[in-house]
Chains A and B, each alone.
Chain A
Amino acid sequence: MNAVRRFAFFFDSSSCSGCKACQMACKDKNDLGPGVLWRKVYEIAGGGWRRDGEVWAPRVYAYNISLACNHCEDPACLRSCPTKAIVKGPDGIVVLNSRACIGCRYCEWSCPYGAPRYEGERGVMGKCDFCFDLVEKGEKPACVAACPMRALDFGELEVLKEKYGGTDAIFPMPQASQTGPSLLIKPHRSAGLAGKGTAGVANDEET
């Protein structure tokens, strides 16, 4: 993996059940208390029902988005950090050095994905570091290795693009052009519908 220039996550939204094994693997590895999520799973749900005589006809759609830090090409968090606690490595991994962090939360506000999270107990920010320690050893990031559905992958962005295709934003994620996320998503078939309809994040309090 030494030659990798831009590490990225691949996420297959069409196969994600929302089981949150990725989220928990992250929490355990990084020892994150309740309330701190470096990877979280958004449930997008919407649509409605039509009564037709005796029948309830659903026009309902739902899918999940598992999201951590996207290790952007142009990280908004990095630009906003007054203490230069956030750096981007030659392999594209964006790391937050908590020893240099003053907990001002600018990065949290500037990140369009809400990736950096405030850790109240320590008074500093924290975020996904791509499990670089595991990756350097040739292992997978904890979330990727955890997925029972095998819906997460990682690697060089260009290689992932070739392998999976995919897109870098689905509803209701922000436009990728803002920061250039190192992320590929295989959309769920409902993602297009959701963008046009009544859908939204259904599990705000869980994320």
Chain B
Amino acid sequence: MRKKIEKDAGERMVRTGCPSHNCGGRCLLLVYVKNGVITRIEGDDRPGDTLEDPQLRACIRGRGYRHRQYHPDRLKVPMKRVGKRGEGKFARISWDEAVDRVAGEMSRVKEKYGNSAMFVPYGTGGYSQITGRQTAQRLMNLFGGSLGFYNSYSWAAIAAATPTVYGTSVTGNQRQDWLNSKYILMWSWNPAEARDGTNSEYFIRMARERGARTVCVDPRMSPSAVSLADEWVPIRPGTDAAMMSAMVHVMITEKLLDAEFIRTHCVGFDETQMPPGCEGEESYRDYILGTQDGTPKTPEWAERITGVARATIARIAREYATTKPAVLYQGYGMQRRAYGEQVVRAGCVLAAITGNVGIPGGWAGGMALQAPDGGPLWIVFPPGHNPVNASIPSFLWSEAVLRGKGMGPEDGVVGVDRLDNNIKLIYAVASNCLVNQHANINRTAGILRDEERLEFLVVQDNFLTSTGRFADILLPACTQFETWGVEDGWKYGDEVLLMPKIVEPPFETKSDYAICAEIARKLGIGEAYTKGRDERGWVEWALDRYKKTRFPGLPSLDEFERSNAGVYSVPVTKPAVAFEDFRRDPVGHPLPTPSGRIEIFSKKLFDLKKPASIPAVPKYIQEWESPFGPEAAKYPLQAVGHHGLARVHSTFDNVDWLNEAFPQRLFINPLDAGPRSIKDGEAVRVFNERGATVVPCRLTTRIMPGVVTLPQGAWWAPDEKGTDRRGSINVLTSERWTPFAFGNAQHTNMVQVEKAKGR
């Protein structure tokens, strides 16, 4: 009766790293294959599962990967555009023709404009070395280079602001140290859903079981607030820096600060420790007490801004300042906003003035790359030297298409005084960032439709994405199960995951690497590109890099493959703590800041002379779209696009198993839905000046009144009138960038919601 039909004859199992789509984790999968087809996927089966070396358990996306892998819509053959750009009409071509065309256009644009007119945009669809944008960057670099970019769509503000305080982004302890904490303030941080390192949520759970009190500050009662927090403090989006400022006010007036640590390790807290040349300028204490601007940043002041009760603000301030050691973990959502730099600096300063820096169980805040060495290397596949010196912020590529020639430092250009070209050719690999993930899709689509402006767009991917629909040439890439790869942790972690080729690339698909190698051969730089290596050869090369840096004990590729271990991990027995040396001896081990200390007041920022948008001490600044601005009359609701588990950014949007688990919804509070006569499950129209989307809604008390959230990443699906029908938040977002980091502010949006009428 209980016999299973014998399924496993001829079946083999391969342990492998989960295909890495910038999900926030790096996990181990057991992939079962029969007759060249993946039949099922299991998770990490290593015995033990200790805190020092925990299993790397995959989420719903990795576990459901078969329905992406074997999706009927996989791109199968190379294609060329036959309609107008963006119409999405394509015709099949041969690989020869496709390679000829791409190589020909690269040569033409190089000849006509120069290398700086070409661009390989930001995109995070592949992180396995052999898949991903770095393969095309290597091609470009060997061909004379292309316009470069720096920073990211994820971390622009936090990566730029953290070093203004600490001089480095390596401000995080190894995560097992969270178990030493007594109080964990999860600010805009949702590891149960966004992961932020495999096992981050599990470590917080264990810290809580060991007695840590946990508080979640978030406009949304996130899965982390439900499962990891003792208390949820809802806060109006974009006002976090106001609450942080008021907490400091409480700490100053109630003398809860670590005055000794401030005196010995910080600069700019008060008038006694201003940097030379800035004596008499507004110190942080001045700002908090309102000495110069006349506005004390009291809990009463912050209550009006944040919507958080003054008593709650004061209590959280007391708890954080007195329950030691304490963690204030800053998530990334609140820094993808207008003036996102401020909240990063404010959080770091809170950690510093309470003396939580450099101690076990504490947390310095900010970027928090893992001590002692910065943690995972992410991509080691070598793009090589880019002969074009010019580089732009990743988010400003559309500006460089429109008006690149002449763009300079005011637009974040580095490496040259001014750009000498507009972008004329884009080679997008594993990137849906041109259309879907960039802000203000309707604007971007208009820019890309102009075939005079951007002369050639090649898109290389697994599916016909929103970006792919604008391609002139579409190249079908295989998935990460269909080629070799290797990866290490996502931000945190101490492991290397091998990704052997498990099944053959189907149809005419090839790895990103193989495609770029063919184009290189056509351009006469094939040997320079491959150095005689195939995909497996580069994985061997990459393993050698890991061995020479973070993992001296790493086995050879042959051994690694033969063992079918899938993962090589280093147990963390004594978690590293950032800034331990500096804490012990600030003179002998100064920080790499101009003062050698923690810069609460940054002279570097002061010297920019933009105090209204880039103050020298962290401040709350009202956002350019805000419930307190005139725009709120027409568009009264704040809209954010949280990271859901149905997708990794835009990857997986077309997977039925994931849509079943987490269907795309606008989440709206019944108090906002009621006056609009909107009922649970109904289609609603969400709109502002930039665009509109129609999507079913979920009425939920788990979102603060006045705020709606639409999980980011749904594939733009405009109807004949241009209204999106899939719930793609980027029809609502703005292309305006943050003042210091030149980063995206895609969570700063005011919108209106109404019941959708007919079609």
Contact = CB atoms under 8 A, between A and B. Distances in A.
Interface of A: 14-21, 23-25, 27-29, 31, 34-35, 37, 45-49, 51-58, 60, 62-64, 87, 89, 93, 95, 97, 129, 132-133, 139, 142, 145-150, 188, 202-203, 205-206
Interface of B: 1-2, 4, 40-43, 45, 49, 57-60, 63-64, 66, 192-193, 198-199, 201-202, 205, 221, 223-224, 226-228, 232, 234, 303-304, 307-309, 645, 656-657, 659-663, 669-671, 681, 698, 700-702, 704-706
Contacts of A203: 698
A58 to B, nearest CB: 6
A147 B57 CA distance: 7
A196 B663 CA distance: 29
Given A29-B40, A31-B40, A149-B227, A24 B663 contact: no
A40 to B, nearest CB: 9
29 contacts: A17-B193, A17-B224, A17-B227, A20-B60, A21-B43, A21-B60, A28-B41, A28-B64, A29-B40, A34-B656, A47-B701, A49-B701, A52-B309, A54-B303, A55-B309, A56-B307, A57-B309, A58-B221, A58-B232, A60-B232, A62-B701, A95-B1, A133-B4, A139-B45, A145-B45, A146-B43, A146-B57, A146-B58, A149-B227
Given A49-B705, A97-B1, A148 B303 contact: no
Contact of B705 (A34, A52, A53, A56): A56
Given A15-B227, A28-B40, 8 more contacts: A18-B223, A46-B701, A51-B705, A57-B309, A58-B221, A58-B234, A132-B2, A205-B681
B660 A35 contact: yes
Contacts of A147: 57
Contact of A19 (B1, B59, B232, B698): B59
A58 B228 CA distance: 18
Contact of B701 (A24, A51, A60, A64): A60
Given A21-B58, A28-B41, A205 B202 contact: no
Given A24-B63, A58-B234, A150-B202, A145 B2 contact: no
B59 A148 contact: yes
Contacts of A20: 60, 645, 661-662
Given A27-B64, A49-B701, A146-B63, A95 B681 contact: no
Contacts of A148: 57-59, 198-199, 201-202
A55 B302 CA distance: 10
A25 B234 contact: no
B656 A17 contact: no
Main SS at interface, chain A: mixed
Contact of B43 (A45, A93, A145, A202): A145
B663 A16 contact: no
A142 B42 contact: yes
Contacts of B45: 139, 145
Nearest to B234: A58
Contact of B661 (A16, A23, A46, A150): A23
Contacts of B205: 15, 149-150
B223 A17 contact: yes
A163 to B, nearest CB: 15
Contacts of B2: 89, 93, 95, 129, 132
A70 to B, nearest CB: 18
Contacts of A133: 4
B193 A21 contact: no
Contacts of B705: 49, 51, 56
B202 A149 contact: yes
Contacts of B41: 28
Contacts of A150: 49, 202, 205
Contacts of A15: 205, 227-228
Contacts of B706: 56
Nearest to A142: B42
A118 to B, nearest CB: 16
Nearest to B656: A34
A35 B663 CA distance: 12
B661 A24 contact: yes
Contacts of A58: 221, 232, 234, 701, 704
A49 to B, nearest CB: 6
Contacts of A52: 309
A106 B45 CA distance: 38
Given A20-B661, A35-B660, A54-B303, A87 B1 contact: yes
Given A28-B41, A149-B202, A19 B60 contact: yes
Q: Which of B60, B192, B202 has the most chain A CB atoms closer than 10 A to its own CB?
A: B60
A68 to B, nearest CB: 15
Given A146-B43, A205-B681, A24 B223 contact: no
A24 B661 CA distance: 8
Q: Sorted from nearest, which 4 A-B pairs have the closest CB atoms?
A: A17-B192, A17-B223, A17-B227, A24-B63
Contacts of B657: 24, 27, 34
A25 B701 contact: no
Contact of B660 (A19, A21, A206): A206
Nearest to B307: A56
Given A55-B309, A206-B660, A45 B700 contact: yes
B4 to A, nearest CB: 5
B196 to A, nearest CB: 12
Contacts of B42: 25, 29, 142, 145
Nearest to B696: A205
Contacts of A206: 660-663
A24 B42 CA distance: 10
A45 B220 CA distance: 13
Nearest to A18: B223
A51 B662 CA distance: 31
B147 to A, nearest CB: 40
A91 to B, nearest CB: 10
Given A28-B63, A87-B1, A206-B663, A62 B221 contact: yes
Given A34-B660, A55-B309, A62-B221, A21 B4 contact: no
Contacts of B224: 17
A150 B44 CA distance: 13
A60 B228 contact: no
Given A31-B40, A87-B1, A54 B59 contact: no
Nearest to A132: B2
Q: Which of A47, A48, A64, A146 has the most chain B CB atoms closer than 10 A to its own CB?
A: A146
Contact of B308 (A51, A55, A63): A55
Contacts of B202: 148-150
Contacts of A49: 669, 671, 701, 704-705
Contact of A28 (B59, B66, B193, B704): B66
A19 B4 contact: no
Contacts of B58: 21, 146, 148
A20 B63 CA distance: 10
B227 A202 contact: no
Contacts of A188: 226
A53 to B, nearest CB: 8
Given A17-B228, A148-B57, A48 B701 contact: yes
